[in-house]
Structure 1
């Protein structure tokens, strides 16, 4: 008879900035988990309120959870703030947390079981229930707001999250838990990338990821969110499509240049097939960034790329093809 698997040690990396309004509710939902986390790392980015005093007061009621606090002055910014917190985590698993959400009971137990059942999976993220500032449900989920398709979910479950991540990011940090071993490949985090998107694509490149389709947190949407999710109307989607393209396309090309460099540096840890797909994605983003200012002159290039399947493999298909023709430059 085999012995039962031991419970993994779980660290929580939580970043704050003027988060006093919701931090106590967030912390209680974390510290009341069964099993409880073994470590809580809080990295505060120059809060001007009493966020850290509230953190210490709540954490003092849970002495079995090791508390580490960083107070950053000047602020590091979102990505580097999370990297600092993550690097200080010592648990087998690391759960990311924002300062204003609520974890559902049993969340850590669910993720621990998922990792135990899938030893080759490096990162798992879940859906979330969207709520307003008072915690009232908004009537839809994060995956609904993002328009996540059944095909994307099926690809992730089948072990091909990398193809999904080459088209767009579906990993939201507040919904994410990953193995500490991933940090070896992801750090240092490039400043041009958001931390959760970077962790997701590196995990998909060096191992695999999975997606829990049930919501495991209440994801609060309010005016002070640094990174949130909004379900856009048709008019909102069209408005986003018509935003200036120059900065966006330059950023997409830069991010892919950084990713290809990292994957190549990781050597045998990343398959040649994935490196080649990333290189093809980089070429696609270079093409998009180099499109001429005159809209009518973009049409032949975009049409050829669409016919070759590049928009389907490396961006959001017809949506991005139309965007690339219609978007103003500035």
Structure 2
């Protein structure tokens, strides 16, 4: 059997895992992220990168790696233009063809055993749940831009209980799965693609679909250094006064996305739950910024 895949007429050796890296103006930390993937103890992977029209040196960094590691790293080139983060990952998902898929931020550092740790849990889960969509996710170690530890547990830092992630009712209200810490199987990809245009958070969309039709498992140890810096600091932002009107767009978009996953949900109850969730989230953020 030919263990190869074809993309735009080019032949590639199929790997067990496709790692999806969405980039945009990521020159500052991109080398560290890619090097941490190259240093993984598990070697049966392929890194797919799609750049979202960066204006810095990101694309040259990527091409340097694709020329050095043509069998391991590939740049997805298309004419789709600038898509934004979620749709950039959506385009990568469509290009992925391996049995397992992982998601990668451009500014983190993977711990050396990350893939090995997650794939072992994934394969065991598939044996117990043959034919089902499966998602496995881990905790993260939060660090500053120089990799100094801020918190040993991202879950504890932001108040996430990972045991709630396998419950669709809980995920409807709050995402408990972080994309850069998760792996999905092919079945999970099939039920989650294509990503609807309304989706702004790809990991939340995938997690809800898997929770509805399959299994979500968590590993209570960090698998990456989750870097916080000027462009992505948790809860960063200006001090604001809480206004109900600030929640309007979030509530409407939240409702549309959830209805796509759970079309038979009671609209009155669903709206009330989302309203409470959005207001609570907004109040908490306002207090943190005060």
TM-score (normalised: structure 1): 0.71
Taking the aligned partners of 2:196 and 2:170, their CA distance within structure 1 comes to: 21
Equivalent residues in 2 for 1:72-83 (5 A)?
Answer: 74-83=81-90
Note closer, same or farther for the CA distance 1:48–1:37 as it changes in structure 2 (3 Å cut): farther
Backbone CA RMSD of aligned residues: 3.1
Any gaps of 5 or more consecutive residues in structure 1? 1-7, 265-274, 291-310
Displacement, 1:283? 2.4
Q: Is the 8 A contact 1:16 1:43 kept in 2?
A: yes
Q: State how many pairs are aligned.
A: 266
Aligned to 1:164: 170
The equivalent residue for 2:155 is: 143
Radius of gyration: which is bigger? Answer: 1
What is residue 243 of structure 2 aligned with on the other side?
Answer: 244
- Map 1:162-311 to 2 at 5 A: 162-193=168-199, 194-225=201-232, 228-230=233-235, 243-264=242-263, 275=264, 279-280=265-266, 282-287=267-272
Question: Which runs of structure 1 show a deviation greater than 2 angstroms over 4 or more consecutive aligned residues?
Answer: 58-64, 68-74, 152-156, 190-193, 228-232, 242-264, 282-290, 319-324
**Counterpart in the other structure of 2:11:** none
**How far apart are residue 208 of structure 1 and its match?**
1.6
User: Counterparts of 1:45 and 1:118 in 2: how far apart (Å)?
Assistant: 34
**Contact between 1:250 and 1:289, CA under 8 Å: does it hold in 2?**
no
| Between structures 1 and 2, the one with greater helix share | 1
- Does residue 1:32 correspond to 2:49, yes or no? no
Contact 2:62 2:75 in 1 (8 A): no
| Unpaired runs of at least 5, structure 2 | 1-14
How far apart in 1 are the matches of 2:92 and 2:77? Answer: 8
Distance of 2:215 and 2:262 partners within structure 1:
15
What is the distance in 2 between the residues matched to 1:205 and 1:187? 15
Q: TM-score, normalised by structure 2?
A: 0.80
Deviation at 1:321, TM superposition (A): 10
